[in-house]
Chain A
Amino acid sequence: MISPRTAAAALALAVLASGCDLVEVNDRPNPNGPALEDILNNPTEAAIANVAVGVESSARTGLGTYLADVGVIGREYYRISPSDPRLTQDLLGGGSSVLDNNTFYLLTPWISRYRTIRNANTMLVALDANETLPDAETSAARGFAQTWIAYQYLLNLNLTFENGIRFIEPGEDAAGEVVGYDEALDRIAALFDEGAQNLASGSEEFFFETTIGQDVPQTVAGYRQINRALAARVDAYREDWQGVLDALDGSFIDSEAPLTIGAYHVFSTGAGDVQNPFFFALGGGGEGVLAQPGFVDDIEDGDTRISKVEERETARTFDGLTSKFDTDVYETSVSPIPIVRNAELVLLRAEANAQLGDRAAAVQDVNVIRNNASLSDYAGDSLIDEILRQRRYELYAEGHRWIDLRRYDRLGTLPIDREGDDVFRQFPIPETENV
């Protein structure tokens, strides 16, 4: 027989055995990753290196959507999705569709770019707080971060154009007011310049691994060349033609070298890595990218760049859009996506020289591109038209045509494939920006 006393004692013992666990709660950290505070409070070289790698890695997020946006509106191709009508309706202005300010095609790239900026800004704050890294290493890392920040702003500005973008300072919680297109471009150019200076005064090598250079050295100097190449693009957008030529001087431009050398987002099937988000199987009936028929209709005879599209067995029709060709620029699931490459630089130099009245220099560069595509030398007299045409074919599916025609105010020349379609000029600012 168990007495009440024994029973009570047994229960009391059980309580004691489990101890304070029955009333105490421990403050446990998140097991799923390091906290932001950990890195800001303890900005070690290794931690900053990880964040730097994260900047290059996260810059690839949302790229597939970005390329869909600019390429579809720029009538380079149709991005077909059997389960999402908006890629063939909203982006082409089908019926009375307009660009939505709260939908993935805008939010995904916009958010992704600002996330990379946040990561790079976190790097800058951590670099300020770090007391052990040599100045030259800090300077190189700062230049790396600023180059990326500037490039990410540029991509978002490409979407919203005259609606502008917002800038956020390192360490700040919120971005500033919306800045209009011209001022935003000026600030982006200034950021590239500051980044270039920091890279110039930096160490020889970064204290972290970089991945973007292809036949451009993976060094601090190589990064500065990439920075200058992008700065040249910004100057072209600003119509600062002399600025384009000056920036190109510091870049990796080389009309003797393959047109493919440059900076690329790289992909792999390795653990934790991602694959090319704009790679699609050819000839299929599901998700895919059909070349807008004009690409083939307008191409010059003998242009080897016809290989950028692949003929299907039968034409595909989807949502009132028909094409017999798939876009075939990214041939494998790990094909790199260009950030900026030699072909664009040569064409930028041609454009700047043409604008500055140096026809001979411009034609020489245009011919580099034409000859590379097995076309004869240029003999016409509408040089800017020819440069835009070469940009269309040379930089097909790399995200340029819509922006090029917009800056020359030629969006009206783009084809309308279905009755009622529209060619949009720019995306709205996302609703979630509350502006």
Chain B
Amino acid sequence: MANRVAIVGVGQTHHKSKRLDVNGVELINEAVLRAIEETGVSLRDIDAIVIGNMDHFESINYVDTWSVDGSGAYMKPILKVTTGGSTGTSIAMAGYYHVASGLFDTVLVIGWEKNSESDTTGAIITCSDPVWDRFSYAGAIPSLAAEATAYMKAYGITERDAARVAVRDHTHALNNPFAHLHKNITIDDVLNSPMLSYPIKLLDVCPRSDGACAVIFAAEHKAKKITDSPAWIHAVSTRHNFGWFGDLEYARIPSLELASKEVYKKAGIREPLKELDVIELYQPYSFAGLKWIEAIGLCGPGEAPKLVWDGVTDMDGELPINPSGGVLATNCIGATGLIRVGEAALQVMGKADNRQVSDVKRALATGFGGCFWSDVVLLGKDMPK
């Protein structure tokens, strides 16, 4: 049986399109110092470190070894975990497993990316099969766009429906000083933005950001000493699908359906729309804010636009989604999933400042990776049984 684990602190950099003033080690160090200062632990208290970014984006491999000065890993156990877009949630889950096992009491998890130093699209293309997929695959945007065309046809969803999601998240980001983009946009702004890959337009999709995030996980006896308001890990799940893009079902996203079902079952949740208080959804483009909330069971297939247009997922709605602004406002890929978990933790801890949702007892964070695999993490204010 797993021991109880809580998140006791979160630190992140102010995300930007180019951090010309720092190298990778220095960027990582910034987030680590912020988490440590915020939490009041010292580096001596950290028993292990988990770190991740996108494989070969910045073309300096083995970050676990070269970032030791900045990560605090000098003479400590450190593990690199890198799983594409879901890296941030994978490292969170790995940090959780470290502590839940009983082998480590306090674990520092670091996600980071200097997207400005990467050829993002080229590097993502190398995740595709060199013979079967690479000649046609053009990176994350067109494959997500293909998912959108299948979804639109199946349920009559429109670009306007997706634009409403984009407006929501960009509006939410205005409350988040750490977010990369602070744009006051309208639905027409989204619809008139340049078409990158039909139907995805510039304002439908995430930016490329430089940034880092550090989150501290602690065992029950430590967590209670460190903070009065720990964010307990209630359940986590990961599901992987196929390896070649042509093997996937495009009308659904089965990995997210199954991962969220497993989390709800573990936590005893029957009606997520009612029982969750806030969601930080890994949503790299606007249409996902419709299709993927159906996958996590907030409503039936094709019903998401009504939920979103009714304001249910806005800050003053029944179930706010992405109070941080989400991935549309900030995407330092290796950190992005960890930021979802960190922001969900801040909501539970009551430390989300201007983006705080009131009365948060349960917060859901998700992660997504290139060939449509999914992570789901549930955090709660009450200690799990």
Task: Indicate whether A and B interact.
Answer: no
- Interface set of A (CB-CB < 8 Å, partner B): none
